[in-house]
Amino acid sequence: MITRYTLLGLLFLMGFTTLRAQEIALTPPPKINWMTWEEMMAANAETPKKIFVDAYTDWCGWCKRMDATTFKNPNLVNYLNEHYYAVKLDAEMRDTVLFQDSAMVPSSDRPRAPHQLAVWLLNGKMSYPTFVILDENYRNFGPIPGYKKPAELEPFLVFIGEGHYRSTDWNSFYTNFQPQFN
């Protein structure tokens, strides 16, 4: 037989569970703290950190898919925000960017001309999406081309973000790497 107190307890528990579910549903998912190149340089001058660059174009379908899928993964988002300055770089932007005592501009006046900064970052291999990871001193570890799922991008982020490159080679690291992002 259910007592009045048991019934009240169950009603209270159901109400609390419903409120908690609503609270969780209202909590927005984490987002990558994307920066411009200039914002990153200012932040890196103040507090040096590794840099993750997403080189994209506005016409790139795979770039948009990465934004809608990979860059929404909470594990990847939290890892990037903790270990990197994340930069969204329009590889065809028209702006002048000051970097390492140089004024970098679009490579030509024609439409869809790559920007000199993107050409430098991607080592002249212009395909999108492409990701570049730099250390605190802007050392370029080389472009990582193509659409990547979170578990495919994770080993690159961890290898450089946690400094494994200082003590082991990529092949040894990658062979033993166990992805945590799903």
Residues 20 and 36 in one domain: no
CATH code: domain of residue 172: 3.40.30.10
Of the candidates 137, 144, 139, the residue with the CA atom closest to the CA atom of residue 122: 144
Position 85 scores a pLDDT of 98
Q: Is there a contact between 40 and 87 (Cβ–Cβ < 8 Å)? A: yes
Of the candidates 33, 72, 90, the residue with the CA atom closest to the CA atom of residue 153: 72
Question: Does residue 108 sit within a domain?
Answer: yes
Residues 134 and 66 in one domain: yes
Range of the domain at 6: 1-29
Residues 55 and 21 in one domain: no
| Integer Cα distance of 34 and 53 in angstroms | 9
- Count of structural domains within the chain: 2
Position 20 scores a pLDDT of 61
Question: Does residue 63 sit within a domain?
Answer: yes
Residues 46 and 124 in one domain: yes
pTM (2 decimals)? 0.83
Question: Does residue 172 sit within a domain?
Answer: yes
Q: How many residues does the chain have?
A: 182
Local mean pLDDT, 10-residue blocks, the chain (182 residues): 61 57 71 95 97 96 96 96 97 89 84 91 95 96 95 96 95 93 82
Position 97 scores a pLDDT of 87
Position 111 scores a pLDDT of 83
Residues 144 and 160 in one domain: yes
Position 110 scores a pLDDT of 86
Q: Is there a contact between 118 and 91 (Cβ–Cβ < 8 Å)? A: yes
